[in-house]
Amino acid sequence: MAYSDKVRGIYSDTLNEIKDKGIFKQERYIHSSQAADIEVEFPTGSSLKKVINMCANNYLGLSSHPDVIKAAHAGLDTRGYGMSSVRFICGTQDIHKELEKKVTEFLGTEDTILFPSCMDANAGVFEAILTKDDVMISDRLVHASIIDGIRLAPAMHDTFKHSDMGHLEEKLQLHSDKRLKVVITDGVFSMDGDTAKLDEMVALCEKYDAMLFVDESHSSGFIGKTGRGTHEKCGVMGKIDIITTTFGKALGGASGGCVSGRKELVEMCRQKARPYLFSNTIAPVVVSGVNTVLDILSKSTERRDKLEKNTEFWRKGLTEAGFVLKDGDTPIVPVMLFNAKLSQDFSKALYEEGIYAIGFFFPVVPQGQARIRTQISAGHEIHHLEKALEAFIKVGKKFDILGKTKQEIIAQYGQ
């Protein structure tokens, strides 16, 4: 047996170090469908508690929508459970191609290729389309999956300060001699909830002959007037060269992702992207569900409109109560607490009040930027948000942070 006491000891020590640092992650078991009202077992073994979920990526409330569930059942009945093959051998069904076509139309691009997840799309795309003669210039706050994709690519990598267009322009000038340049950003940044300046980025990319890559995982389905994403909001539909997005958040919340954009780039992914070549694609049951999600969203903007109203209500309520929020207008609403321990204590106190919202701290967010990240859904009714607001105010009073500035909270709790 190679797994000796010595080996076990090394891993035990490492895990204990993680616990000592206070960054050991623990799952909370949900005994119900994903929705605004959920039943949670936490800590493990305790009796179930009914709470309002304020931290899901279920932005449009479609994770348990009856029409999506019905479509998933139909997919299971007519196309089976699994494919037992990668796409290019015998793992592509008509419904996979149907979904790729629908995504292309929804995002306003030229072509689309499905991936098992958006993590896989981001991990595979750069290596597939770039060489050592090229450069990738990324915003410093892009998602971890993009960082992984960048690490796997042979091209040079540089960064620009978060949403700093002057700095981006300097970098485009610095790397003007490269064969190909790709500017890389999130559409909506997952931790701060702010939106990329895609109109300015498109202009800079046109000026310096660079391609633009946008991860729309926290945007697709609800940002922009008809929910097409950040590019719709910024008035640059059709001008983004590469979009990656997920079906694991607003678009039904199950799993899967894609690369959508210029047809040659999509074809390069079909020929060379390793997560596409060496892994099964999305299961038929999920593909059927996402096809129906896109039908629902193409027919009506009712759900994204409701989400917008819910978000306005929530931001206004928290602001009037005296919380410090990160600026923005997306359904990601970070309540800033600055101190790591305070964020954990605050989350626990909320849970006792029947509100499920998680505290984030370094290294997930920068040092001294601890927060409760709340996420609003079209699945929330006003009574959910009123109850959550009541709990936030009660807990805010308990910790005496209401009406306090950033500096005052830091003076009270440290950073």
Partner 1 sequence: MEEMKDIVLKYVINEYLEDEDEVLTYDTPLISGGIVDSFSMVSLKRFLENKYKISIPDDKATPEAFDSVTKIVKLVNEFLN
For residue 107, CA distances in Å to 100, 152, 229, 242 come to 11, 27, 7, 11
Rule CB under 8 A: is residue 394 a binding residue for partner 1? no
Q: Which is nearer to partner 1, 168 or 335 (CB)?
A: 168
Rule CB under 8 A: is residue 165 a binding residue for partner 1? no
Return the structure tokens found at 263.
Answer: 């047809």
Rule CB under 8 A: is residue 410 a binding residue for partner 1? no
Return the structure tokens found at 17.
Answer: 């170090």
Q: Which of 174, 206, 263, 397 binds partner 1 (CB under 8 A)?
A: 174
CB 215, CB 247: distance < 8 Å: no
Rule CB under 8 A: is residue 364 a binding residue for partner 1? no
263 is catalytic: no
Classify the C-alpha dihedral 254-255-261-262 as positive or negative: negative
Q: Which is nearer to partner 1, 16 or 176 (CB)?
A: 176
The C-alpha atoms of residue 138 and residue 159 are separated, in whole angstroms, by: 5
**Which residue bears the tokens 């080996």?**
7
For residue 330, CA distances in Å to 236, 298, 334, 391 come to 18, 20, 10, 22
- Shortest CB 340 distance to partner 1, Å: 18
Q: Which of 77, 105, 133, 158 binds partner 1 (CB under 8 A)?
A: 158
Rule CB under 8 A: is residue 148 a binding residue for partner 1? no
132 is catalytic: no
- Shortest CB 182 distance to partner 1, Å: 14
249 is catalytic: yes
The count of chain residues that interact with partner 1, using the rule CB under 8 A, is: 9
The C-alpha atoms of residue 257 and residue 220 are separated, in whole angstroms, by: 11
Rule CB under 8 A: is residue 40 a binding residue for partner 1? no
Q: Which is nearer to partner 1, 161 or 262 (CB)?
A: 161
Rule CB under 8 A: is residue 87 a binding residue for partner 1? no
Comparing C-alpha atoms, which of 58, 372, 109, 70 is closest to residue 246? 58
Task: Point out the catalytic residue in the list 145, 163, 190, 217.
Answer: 190
**H/E stretch holding 347:** helix 340-352
Q: How many CB atoms lie within 10 A of CB 63?
A: 25
Rule CB under 8 A: is residue 144 a binding residue for partner 1? no
Q: Which of 175, 272, 341, 394 binds partner 1 (CB under 8 A)?
A: 175
Site residues (vs partner 1, CB under 8 A): 156-159, 161, 171, 174-175, 366
Q: Which residues are catalytic?
A: 190, 218, 249
